[in-house]
Amino acid sequence: MTTAARTPVPARTPIGRVAVIGGGTSCEHDVSLASAAGVAEALLAGGHDVVRLTIDPEGVWRDGGDRPIGLAGAVHVLRSCAVAVPVVHGPGGEDGTLAALLDLAGVPYVGSGVGAGALAMDKWVTKLVAEALGLATAPGVLLTRASAAAYAVDHPVVVKPVAAGSSHGVSLVREQAELAAALDAAFALDDRVLVEDVVVGREIDVAVLASGAELLVSPALEIRVDGLFDFEAKYGGGADFVVPAPLSSTEQKALESAALAMFTALGCRGVARIDFFLTEAGPVLNEVNTMPGFTAHSQVPQMFAAAGIDYVALVDRLVRDAVAGRATPRAAA
């Protein structure tokens, strides 16, 4: 493990066409479009030949000119590229769906593979993995529509869909009267819902970047927000990001160790953001994001920028590592 330090931008020799995929059918469609636009601009700034592809909210693949080309057309385009960057957050993208498509098409890609994407997207399974590693998580229960009818709360809890991101469908429930609406919001996005005890602690994120044979750990980022770090706080300017987060050496080591353990156990590749609550007893895992928000102002780019790896250099490194580490012979088109 190497803590990210100031790293020079690699020599920018051409690597061929780079496909950037954005959009998707999940509730994170618009967030994904913003991330994909940022990644594409960073690639252009790095001298790469960028091909843009978008999945619209109905699941139709479109080219850079917004012309519908369908799945077959998209695969044809993808197979003409040296590498793909699937910047599709949430179900239908980050959950391993696009990784499977790219594996079948024989196209190297940035980010985690099918297994890691599916495991990390499932917040309940992520908790089970963390607990098997000896990492603390918030006490919680898994509910379906059938079991939710008998569930009652007698203390504050957070209700969230098992597989969704950007804090969509997440509610803070303080009393029984608030539960029904919270469950409805979560079940609107998923058939399974996670109900967790509220954890009192600082919200700290750590990013891990797999670069060659090294795992680079970013400086930690602290999220300071008044109340729940929900969708409005994330994207409406209601939260402050402090990076590097003020931490003792013991706290920093504990967070880095936990982040690396989750990244490795899940089999992540590329970059992932691991979110924690830092309590008096130590880190409590919240979730793992294998395709986190990726504009220049998002958490992961800010964390690596604090270590001297700017946005353009970070994106450049990701695509080059994907080509070098997972180049797959492609059958003739």
| Active site members | 28, 166, 235, 273, 275, 287, 289, 293
Asked whether 158 and 196 are in contact (CB, 8 A), the reply is: yes
Asked if residues 68 and 55 have their Cβ atoms less than 8 Å apart, the reply is no
The strand pairing partners of 204, in sequence order, are 222, 276
Distance, in Å, from the CA atom of 32 to the CA atom of 34, rounded to the nearest integer, reads 5
- Rounded to the nearest 10°, the torsion over CA 7, 13, 15, 19 is 60
Tokens of 199: 């954890």
CA 167 to chain centre: 12
| Token couple for 31 | 């967030």
Cis upstream peptide for 244 (omega within 30°):
yes
Contact call for residues 171 and 158 (beta carbons, < 8 A)? yes
Handedness of CA 115, 116, 122, 126 (dihedral sign): positive
- C-alpha separations of 47 from 37, 249, 315, 321 in Å: 16, 39, 12, 16
Cα–Cα distance between 217 and 307 in angstroms, integer? Answer: 10
Question: In the beta sheet, which residues pair with residue 239?
Answer: 225
> Residue 193 and residue 176: Cα distance in Å, rounded?
16
Q: Strand 271-279 to strand 239-242: parallel, antiparallel, or no bridges (unpaired)?
A: unpaired
331 φ, ψ to 5°?
A: -70, 155
Residue type at position 151:
Y
* C-alpha of 326 from chain center: 20
CA distance 81 to 133: 38
